[in-house]
Amino acid sequence: MQRPYNFSAGPAMLPTEVLEQAQAELLDFQGSGISPMELGHRSKFFSEIREKTEACLREILAIPNNYKVLFLSGGATSQFAMIPLNLLRNKPSADYIETGIWSKKASKEAKRYCTVNLAGENHNSELLSLPEQAQLTLNPDAAYVYYTDNETIGGMEFKYVPETNGVPLVSDMTSNILSRPIDISRYGLIYASAQKNIGHAGVTIVIVREDLIGEPHPMAPTMFNYLAHAEQDSCLNTPPTYAWYFAGLVFEWVKRQGGLEAMQRQAKLRSEKLYAAIDDSDFYTNNIHPSSRSNMNVPFILADANLDEKFLAESQAAGLWNLKGHRSVGGMRASMYNSMPVAGVDALIDFLNDFQRKYG
Ligand SMILES: *Cc1c(COP(=O)(O)O)cnc(C)c1O
């Protein structure tokens, strides 16, 4: 059976090889006699899964020893509150670079707990671009600087790491973690929920510099306390065990593919092909400046919005699924995470060209 190419922004396509491995182990995890879903979170088998999973992530991301890796639930959205509750450390304000829907949501949530300085915004002159370093207005007394490395809905990705002069840098990497090597030591905290590029929904990974986690805000629920999770190896309560196990299979897969350098080469190959096809046509448009275009999520519009429904129906029939843009922006969007083969992008480009010939 040929699986469709699934361009969904999330929950997203997963590597077939990993799904098959999960299937093979579903009824009997490595001779335990039971399913990985049935393993107790404090059992010997699950302890091995936890250790192996964290070790593999530390290896592929080269995470320094002074960083904790937490496996939490509640999705990326819980982090919008958990970050100010834990990282303000009695400071009155934090800097937020607002570049799209996800960073704006995070900033709105932070306003419940502190003063938010708007540290940067997109620029719009014909094409939309992210702020450059020189355009950021950073407050040296801010508790942290927050930004979204890849805006999944807008299709914009930072090509540089903001320099913050010692103020801890916090990044939402939900939709581009594991797509290229990153220098973890530049960050105070990085987080990502799983359903874009790590696995299936349910687990959220937080990589945080040890010295930044201490007593949280006194009103912070225990479940929103990084230190409490860190002290209990992320087993403060029953963690999302299967999502955690599955993430481990994906990390091993990334390693087998050649690690993050290989992921980056594939990501560039996919997105460069698709942007070139869009830019070469006068029928499809992407309005993001090349300096800010995402390697993961490519939004585009058709010259005639009346053709949108036809486009979606015909692409679906051609085995190219979920190309509909986010409901807040309309148009189309192709999300191409690590599991999207280059052949999927080639098939999409053939479809774009055929559709334009028929209706353009
Ligand atoms: C999907 C997404 C979120 C929201 O993730 P949930 O796990 O659904 O809370 C947040 N930030 C970014 C960048 C995303 O792509």
Ligand 1: distance of its center to the CA of 175 in Å? 7
Please give the pLDDT value at position 138.
98
Q: Give rounded-to-5 percent helix, strand, coil for the chain.
A: 40, 20, 40
Which segments within the chain are labelled E, that is strand? 5-6, 67-72, 93-98, 115-121, 123-125, 127-129, 145-148, 150-151, 156-157, 169-172, 189-193, 204-209, 284-285, 297-302, 320-321, 332-335
Average pLDDT over residues 70-97: 98
Ligand 1 pocket member 102 (CB < 6 A): yes
CB 44 within 8 A of CB 69: no
Q: State how far the Cα of 169 lies from the Cα of 120, in Å rounded to an integer.
A: 14
Reading phi first (left if > 0) and then psi (alpha if -120 to 50, else beta), residue 233 is in left
> HSE of 322 in the Cβ direction (CA atoms, 13 Å)?
16
Ligand 1: distance of its center to the CA of 153 in Å? 10
CB 70 within 8 A of CB 206: yes
Is pLDDT above 90 for 89?
A: yes
Q: State how far the Cα of 346 lies from the Cα of 357, in Å rounded to an integer.
A: 17
Is pLDDT above 80 for 1?
A: no
Q: State how far the Cα of 190 lies from the Cα of 171, in Å rounded to an integer.
A: 5
Please give the pLDDT value at position 297.
98
Is pLDDT above 90 for 247?
A: yes
Report the 3 state secondary structure along 301-357. Answer: EECCHHHHHHHHHHHHHCCEECCECCCCCCCEEEECCCCCCHHHHHHHHHHHHHHHH
Ligand 1 pocket member 157 (CB < 6 A): no
Q: What is the pLDDT of residues 29-46, one digit of tens each?
A: 999 999 999 999 999 999
Q: What is the pLDDT of residues 262-311, one digit of tens each?
A: 999 999 999 999 999 999 999 999 999 999 999 999 999 999 999 999 99
Average pLDDT over residues 326-334: 93
Average pLDDT over residues 232-246: 97
Atom of ligand 1 nearest to the CA of 150: 13
Is pLDDT above 90 for 235?
A: yes
Counting residues of the chain whose pLDDT is more than 70, the rounded percentage is 100
CB 208 within 8 A of CB 71: no
Atom of ligand 1 nearest to the CA of 194: 7
Ligand 1 pocket member 147 (CB < 6 A): no
Ligand 1: distance of its center to the CA of 226 in Å? 19
Please give the pLDDT value at position 2.
82
Ligand 1: distance of its center to the CA of 138 in Å? 25
Active site residues: 102, 172, 196
